[in-house]
Structures are given as structure tokens and as C-alpha cells.
Amino acid sequence: MAPPDKHFASIDVGSHTLRMLIARCNARGEVFPLVTERRITRLAKNFQQNGQLGDQGMEGSLKVLEEYAATLKRYKVESVACGATGVVRRAANSDEFLQAIHRRTGIPAAILSEDSEARLSAKGVLSVLPPSEGHILTFDLGGSSTEFLLLHTRNPHPIWHTSIFIGAATLTDRFLRVDPPSAAAAAEASADVQASLAPTFQTIHSLLSDTTGGTNQETGFPRESLRLAGTAGTATTLAAMYLEMATYDPERVNGLVLENRWLSAMTERLLRSPLAQRRSIPGLEAGREDIIAAGALIVMEILKGLHQSQVTVSDAGLLEGLLLNHIEREYGRPETLVSPLTWGTQRVKGLTKTET
């Protein structure tokens, strides 16, 4: 398929975190990750005050992207896909920010549509989870938005998807800025999440409802139990906390199942704990202690609204889906949710995590 040793990269410009993946694709269509970087830049900080990206968040992100550009050059990356999401999609000054990225780094950044983000995130999730039969609902819970995508494993195309402007960083800014937040503030945040996600839950329940003959007329497939799969920073951080990982290992996170009982207890603990106490929790990434409670609260509301008792976690998501899709386009492959490419056996271990 691809010539040996051709290097590709993907960059996810998120509302809270900026990530990069560099990989080598060989002639057999095997993709071997070489470098995985993640930096917390807080691009969405104070966004809702004026609807614009703040100077501090933009400058911090641009400096990280300049470092990423140097790494791309060092690894002789031939082609890169850079997608901006969440808060950039809504910001009044997003064009200014994208132009600055290209001017200072040469990286051709583009805003991903809600549709593209949901599809690419699901593509990344499916690339690492064990094969299964039935309906899967993926959710990508970011700093300012959450993307949902419903699929059936027999169908190469999604059944339904949506993006909701609610995320760990924006919910924190609106309701949970006091350290620690009051019970009233936590209740207000929960109510806001419930109201924001109610139409989504209603649609999903409708799509999965039983019909005569055992076949769902909306999806065209037999009624089966729903598998819920979460990705992005909140989900993977909760998985790391569950495993009490001193060093983050994506291989241990992929496919990990978190039960409602543990999630409920951890969410209550996070909401009651001041930041200093949160920092001592094993597995909690430095720089995420102020928004993890809001993220956990959203996960709990998703489980409650969908009547689910557990969620499967995937370290892979938008960043991996963006990379796989980019390689496929380079070689004229059709775009499907399940990639024809495969991850090589030597997956990269760990992440470089540096706060800005």
C-alpha cells in the first residue's frame, strides 16, 4: 500500500489540550506510532466571557505548535493533518488563530466540522477495541464539546451522530470554579448537563427502541444491548486513576471497562476535594485536576441518561482517526468507520506530558 518508512502525522488542536501523533506506515498498511505528544494549553479558558479565544491560550498553543513543527521536521514527516475542534469552531477570532498557526509553523490547520470530528473520533476508537457485534455508541468528551456517534458493527457507515457544546473545561468555568465547588454549584452543573444532553438521549433511545419482529426499523438491525465507548482526556484520565498508573500506558487503557459504582464514588470524591487533594490521586494527570470533576460529572450523566452500568474506555480517538483517515486519503482508500489499516504490534508506550 504505502512505501516503507513513509512518515505521517496528525495534530489535534483541542479546547484544553494540544496533541500530536507521528507514525510510520509500511507497505503492508501497518501503522507504527513513533511519537505521541500532549500539552495542556487551556485554549478555551474564559471563552464564554466574550466568545473569543484568549491571547494567553492562543500564544501558549502557538508556542507548542512551533515545537511540534520542529519535531515534524526532525522525523521527516511528509504529510500532516491538523484539525481544530470545540471552542475553535465557535470562536469569533478562529480565522485569526488558524492564520497565525500557518504563519508561525507552516502547518496547514483546518477546523473540523462536528460531523467530521464525530466520525474520526469513532474511527480511532474502533481501531483499538476488540471486535464485537451490535450497536456501539462512542462519545468524545473534550474541553468544550462532546461528540456522539451511533453505529452498528455490520454497517460501514454511522447510523447517527451529533455534537453538543458541553465539555469539562467549559462546565468548570461556568459552575465549578470555586475550590472545592459547593454542593449547590455541583447540583446546578448536573442540571445543566442533563438539560443539554436530554435531546441526545431521547434520540438514542428512539433509535434503539424495540419494534415488532425483533428488528429496529430505524437502524435496520436486531435489537441488542448498547455498548458505550468513551475517549479523550476525561475518559482516559479516569481510566488511569482507576488503574492508579504512575506512568501512563495506553495499552492498559484500551478496552478497560469502568463500572458505574466506581465512577459514582470517584465523581463524588472529586467534587468534594480541593485541588491540593486531587493532585495526590494516583493516575490524575498534572494540569487536569481543576477540570476532571466536571468531566467525571458529564460521564456520570451520560451513563444515567442512557441507563448504562458501564463504559469501555479507548485511549485512541480523534487523533488516531485523523491520522488513519489522512493516510487512507493519501492512497485513495474509501473512507469508512473501520480502517483497512492496522496498528503495528510495537505500539508506542507512554506519553510525553508537559504543561505550558
Where along the chain do its domains lie? 6-115+317-355, 129-313
Sign of CA dihedral 110, 111, 113, 117: positive
The architecture (CATH level 2) of 6-115+317-355 comes to 2-Layer Sandwich (3.30)
Report pLDDT for 345. 64
- pLDDT tens-digit readout, 272-329: 999 999 999 999 988 889 999 999 999 999 999 999 999 999 988 899 999 999 999 9
CA distances to 59, 112, 311, 345 from 290, rounded to whole Å, are: 21, 27, 23, 36
Alpha-carbon distance of 8 to 101, in angstroms, equals 19
Report pLDDT for 44. 79
Q: Which CATH number is associated with domain 129-313?
A: 3.30.420.150
Report pLDDT for 210. 53
Alpha-carbon distance of 162 to 282, in angstroms, equals 33
Residue 268 · residue 262 · CB < 8 Å: no
- pLDDT tens-digit readout, 136-174: 999 989 888 898 999 887 776 789 989 898 999 889 989
129-313 and 6-115+317-355 share a CATH fold: yes
Q: Please identify every stretch of the chain with a pLDDT value under 70, giving residue numbers as ranges.
A: 1-4, 48-49, 156, 210-224, 345-356
- C-alpha distance across the termini of the chain, in Å: 39
Sign of CA dihedral 262, 198, 222, 129: negative
Alpha-carbon distance of 119 to 318, in angstroms, equals 8
Count Cα atoms within 13 angstroms, Cβ side, for 353: 16
Report pLDDT for 348. 41
Q: Which of 316, 117, 302, 145 is nearest to 226 (CA)?
A: 302
Q: Count Cβ atoms below 10 Å from residue 332 Cβ, excluding itself.
A: 6
Alpha-carbon distance of 126 to 199, in angstroms, equals 25
Sign of CA dihedral 106, 111, 116, 118: positive
The torsion angles phi and psi of 172, rounded to 5 degrees, stand at: -60, -45
